[in-house]
Structure 1
Amino acid sequence: MMKLLAVLLVVLIAAALAFVRLAPSDPARWHQMPDSVTDRDLEGGAMRRVEGNLAALDTIIRDTARTRVLAGSVDQGMITYVTRSRVFGFPDYTTVRQSDDMLEIYGRLRFGKSDLGVNAARIERWLDRLGQAG
């Protein structure tokens, strides 16, 4: 009986991990911004509003490991990226919008409640690189 429970537990964990990695990302859900973007950390993400150029930041973000574009483009003025964690492949979504000479950045997790500051740290690394490039 214990062996059966152990096998079931392993199967459930494998199924959950497969779901995290393989669940589709719906652009209609993730490629959007809140009405107001301010500089603040959230329980499951972060927001930043800084001076900058979307094309320059796009180059930096595309150079980030395990990151791909979900929707949008520089020409459209807004891009949403998916960055996956190294081990388990948890997806985080970051949407960046050009608003005049300002960049509005909204990074958030998909699964769970707290990202333990991962999105804020990633955004800060990008902005540090953007500052060095400018």
Structure 2
Amino acid sequence: MIFWILVLVVIGVFAFVRLAPSDPQRWHRQSNVAGMGESRPASGYVWREPVTDDGLARLKALDDVIRDTPRTKVLIGSVAEGKITYVTRSKVCGFPDYTTIGIYEGPVQGVQTRYLEINARLRFGKSDLGVNRNRVQGWIASVEG
């Protein structure tokens, strides 16, 4: 009897993870980290790089690569808007990771800068074991390919 209760609990958890709705306003935002390059907040991974023009060509190139990533869908945004948020689900359990890419302008280390930011984070749990970092670095490598 206890075995079947545990099975039902596990199935319930997996169903919740797969079916929980994604609130676009919660996830469609830039990070609050400072500086350029990579940052590793507890919930994921952030990459920033300066752009010398409007950055939309770089954003479009990343968008093309990201849309070809398995189990990845656009949640909200567009290249024309300058910011896009994607949901990528793990293969087995369907855990969602949210990635927002965008072109922003603001002070970085005291200097007004235009930059591209990739903000990848998990929804459930406390650590993604480097999954978001590896995914983002793969996207960057594909664009630079």
Q: TM-score, normalised by structure 2?
A: 0.84
Letter of the 2:103 partner, please give it: Q
Structure 1: state its 5+ residue gaps.
none
- Relative distance call for 1:126 and 1:22 in structure 2 (3 A) is same
1:16 and 1:24 map into 2 onto residues whose CA distance is: 14
Deviates more, 1:89-98 or 1:42-51: 42-51
Deviation at 1:36, TM superposition (A): 4.1
Contact map agreement 2:31 2:46 (CA 8 A) in 1: no
| Alignment partner of 1:20 is 2:17 | yes
Percent of counterpart pairs with the same letter? 51
* 1:42-62 Cα distance to aligned partner (Å, 9 max, x none): 222000012461111000000
Quote the residue 1:57 is aligned against.
Answer: 62
Quote the residue 1:6 is aligned against.
Answer: 3
Counterparts of 1:26-45 in structure 2, within 5 Å, are 26-36=23-33, 38=35, 39-45=38-44
Greater helix share, structure number: 1
The alignment covers a number of residue pairs equal to 129
Deviation at 1:102, TM superposition (A): 2.9
- Relative distance call for 1:37 and 1:89 in structure 2 (3 A) is farther
Contact map agreement 2:17 2:94 (CA 8 A) in 1: yes
Letter of the 2:15 partner, please give it: A
Contact map agreement 1:97 1:103 (CA 8 A) in 2: yes
Quote the residue 1:84 is aligned against.
Answer: 89
* 1:41-90 Cα distance to aligned partner (Å, 9 max, x none): 22220000124611110000000000000000001100000000000000
Letter of the 1:72 partner, please give it: G
Structure 2: state its 5+ residue gaps.
106-113
Contact map agreement 1:37 1:106 (CA 8 A) in 2: no
